Amino acid sequence: MTIQTIPTTPIAGQRPGTSGLRKKVTVFVQPGYLENFVQSLFDVLNATGQDGQGLKGQTLVLGGDGRYHNRAAVQTILKLAAANGVQRVLLGQGGILSTPAVSAVIRKHQVFGGIVLSASHNPGGPEGDFGIKYNASNGGPATETLTEAVYARTQIVRELRISDAPDIVIDTLGLQWVEQMQVEVIDPVADYAALMRELFDFDLLRGMFARGFTMRVDAMCAVGGPYAQAILEGELGAPRGTVVNAQPLEDFGGLHPDPNPVNAEDLIAHMARTDAPDFGAAMDGDADRNMVVGRDFVVTPSDSLALMTAHARLVPGYKDGLLGVARSMPTSAAVDRVAKKLGIACFETPTGWKFFGNLLDAGKVTLCGEESYGTGSSHVREKDGLWAILFWMSLLGATGRSVESLVREHWQTYGRNYYTRHDYEGVAVEAANQLMVDLRAVLPGLPGQKFGTRTVTLADDFAYDDPVDGSISKAQGVRLIFDDAARVIFRLSGTGTEGATLRLYLERYEPNPTQQDIAVQQALRDLAALADQVAGIARHTGMNGPTVAT
């Protein structure tokens, strides 16, 4: 075994997006692609690490969602880590760790940071996507400052430092070595499960299953399966088969592991049957997203966050109440109304879980959530799919109510925020950029303008001043806010790997209980037309409607 220094040349386009670097597998397998990025990350960490020591003597956590290329990438990263001063790596068995589990392991063992191999909800397999992101010592996604520094480094990286050691055995628990670096292969579920036991009343949940509570969790052939099986079927006594698609597969069995009504159609159909279980849920590729479904009743992520906030004291881990809550800007304002009633702060951040990190670290918020099927809390620094499922199950157990009745009661109390997201996928990058340029140009003229019965009260490009570290993030999405609290938001996705995706978020508030049962797309039809009128979506994209509406 020797450590080698190998010349390399910079590769263009290695800028991390909303959540790490995501590209097609065909891109990631190009010689030097992964190596250049990881070397650049290690160079930055070595230059900026604690006490000037960089990675020397430090421990990293490593694992991924098991998608195609996960296993090969693990071996490459270990060889680079060993050559760049890392002392120890905690590696999930088989190269597997869900994103929230990486965060939990980093925090529990108080280590320097971790690397997550995932393209989240993006499809897998040789023709699918792969991704990598770095999480810092708080367990959360690296800040923009760090990811930008890594990107800058990728543009000048000239040398790889890498060991020529043989591959290690990643399926066997225990200690191995790569050069002087210890690799401890750990049980991917154990630390995470221990954390869940601290937050939830497992006896209550066990009792629910014992009394016949029924549930269907669709793990979408992704990494959440082993976690859900171990906790729900193993510890809590749920009947075998409660977790479906539980075996993580390199191509997710051809499923698109994105837990929304469009991609989790099998779960939606199952929950619409007359013999549907009491509770349904799905998770995404790396198990940080969740979708909550009642009997023939889908809960929007925005409503889910609002309800969890309203009832948090029913869950043991949150019985003392919440410090505050945070949502991403495009997420509906349903939670704002709950926060107001509870008298707690509600923060509005740009899209990207990394923006919640400072608020959580500073003790300003306890719960966070996003419209993109993500909810989480201060227990880790990632959104957490199975945690959200256990949280909802706890609410059902504590109240004895159904999913639908809890949500309907919530709307009666707080009003309903009708909400939808329209995705225009596969738009030519230039056309999408031009749409945003043209839209930004008309913003100054919009306030005061009337559209039907509505008047624009604010039209801006959202900028976020981080209240903890003072950093400013500009151009985070164009928002139009109206005098009746309706909102229309436009932004380009930062997680796609092909062309551009325009996201259009539509929301209107309905306080009248007799008007809270309109089909969502119908309730928001006029706002969709307004959005097209202002932004010329059809004109710019050549598309007459979204590819996905959830």
Q: Which stretch in 227-235, 359-367, 368-376, 504-512 sits in contact with ligand G16 by CB under 6 A?
A: 368-376
Residue 116 or 170: the one with the smaller Cβ distance to ligand G16 is: 116
Identity of the amino acid at 487: R
Closest CA to 160 of 12, 36, 47: 36
- 369 vs 106, 265, 300, 378, CA distance in Å? 21, 23, 11, 12
User: Does position 508 bind ligand G16 by CB under 6 A?
Assistant: no
Site map 398..437 versus ligand G16, x via CB under 6 A: ----------------------------------------
Q: Which stretch in 38-46, 247-255, 262-270, 492-500 sits in contact with ligand G16 by CB under 6 A?
A: 492-500
Closest CA to 260 of 225, 216, 295, 301: 301
Separation between Cα atoms, residue 276 and residue 279, nearest integer Å: 8
Separation between Cα atoms, residue 388 and residue 286, nearest integer Å: 14
Q: Which of 121, 337, 422, 454 binds ligand G16 (CB under 6 A)?
A: 121
Q: Which of 405, 493, 516, 547 binds ligand G16 (CB under 6 A)?
A: 493
- Cα–chain center distance at 18: 10
Residue 43 Cβ, how far from ligand G16 at the closest point, in Å?
24
Closest CA to 26 of 64, 71, 68, 74: 68
Residue 64's SS3 state is: strand
Site map 148..177 versus ligand G16, x via CB under 6 A: ------------------------------
User: Does position 288 bind ligand G16 by CB under 6 A?
Assistant: yes
Output the six-digit token pair for 323: 């410090």
Q: Which of 71, 289, 422, 540 binds ligand G16 (CB under 6 A)?
A: 289
Q: How many CA atoms lie within 13 A of 540 on its CB side?
A: 27
- Window 234 to 273, contacts with ligand G16 (CB under 6 A): none
Q: Is the dihedral of CA 65, 66, 70, 72 positive or negative?
A: positive
Residue 79 or 107: the one with the smaller Cβ distance to ligand G16 is: 107
Residue 502 Cβ, how far from ligand G16 at the closest point, in Å?
10
Q: Which stretch in 221-229, 369-377, 425-433, 456-464 sits in contact with ligand G16 by CB under 6 A?
A: 369-377
- 28 vs 24, 123, 130, 457, CA distance in Å? 7, 15, 7, 45
Site map 294..333 versus ligand G16, x via CB under 6 A: ----------------------------------x-----
| Cβ–Cβ under 8 Å, residues 427 and 541 | yes
Contacts of 441 (CB under 8 A, 6+ apart): none
Residue 141 or 294: the one with the smaller Cβ distance to ligand G16 is: 141
Residue 492 Cβ, how far from ligand G16 at the closest point, in Å?
8
Q: How many CA atoms lie within 13 A of 185 on its CB side?
A: 17
Q: Which of 370, 384, 507, 510 binds ligand G16 (CB under 6 A)?
A: 370
| Cβ–Cβ under 8 Å, residues 114 and 107 | no
Residue 371 Cβ, how far from ligand G16 at the closest point, in Å?
7
Contacts of 327 (CB under 8 A, 6+ apart): 302, 305, 333, 335, 336, 346, 347, 348, 349, 368, 369, 370
User: Does position 19 bind ligand G16 by CB under 6 A?
Assistant: yes
Residue 383 Cβ, how far from ligand G16 at the closest point, in Å?
7
Residue 153 or 289: the one with the smaller Cβ distance to ligand G16 is: 289
Please report which residue ranges of 343-455 form alpha helices under DSSP H. 357-361, 385-399, 403-414, 429-442
Residue 44 Cβ, how far from ligand G16 at the closest point, in Å?
21
User: Does position 372 bind ligand G16 by CB under 6 A?
Assistant: yes
Output the six-digit token pair for 252: 């997710």
Q: Which stretch in 29-37, 425-433, 493-501, 524-532 sits in contact with ligand G16 by CB under 6 A?
A: 493-501
Q: Which of 14, 18, 59, 366 binds ligand G16 (CB under 6 A)?
A: 18
Residue 114 or 352: the one with the smaller Cβ distance to ligand G16 is: 352
Residue 426 Cβ, how far from ligand G16 at the closest point, in Å?
14
Active-site position among 40, 98, 118, 120: 120
Residue 133 or 311: the one with the smaller Cβ distance to ligand G16 is: 133
Residue 88 or 379: the one with the smaller Cβ distance to ligand G16 is: 379
Is 120 a residue of the active site? Answer: yes
CB atoms inside a 10 Å sphere around CB 233: 18
Output the six-digit token pair for 361: 């670290």
Residue 19 Cβ, how far from ligand G16 at the closest point, in Å?
4
Q: Which residues of 465-499 are buried (b: 16+ CB within 10 A; e: fewer)?
A: ebeeeeeebeebbbbbbbeebbbbbbbbbbbbbee
User: Does position 495 bind ligand G16 by CB under 6 A?
Assistant: yes
User: Does position 67 bind ligand G16 by CB under 6 A?
Assistant: no
- Ranges of beta strands (E only) in 187-330 are 215-218, 243-244, 279-283, 290-294, 297-299, 324-328
Q: Which of 10, 253, 494, 536 binds ligand G16 (CB under 6 A)?
A: 494
Output the six-digit token pair for 237: 């006594």
- Window 339 to 358, contacts with ligand G16 (CB under 6 A): 351-353
Residue 135 or 229: the one with the smaller Cβ distance to ligand G16 is: 135
Residue 54 or 113: the one with the smaller Cβ distance to ligand G16 is: 113
Residue 205 Cβ, how far from ligand G16 at the closest point, in Å?
25
User: Does position 76 bind ligand G16 by CB under 6 A?
Assistant: no
Residue 131 or 294: the one with the smaller Cβ distance to ligand G16 is: 131
DSSP state of 260: S
Closest CA to 172 of 187, 193, 182: 187
Closest CA to 346 of 362, 314, 369: 369
Chain residues binding ligand G16 by CB under 6 A are: 18-19, 120-121, 288-289, 328, 351-353, 370, 372, 374, 493-495, 503
- Mind telling me the catalytic residues? 120
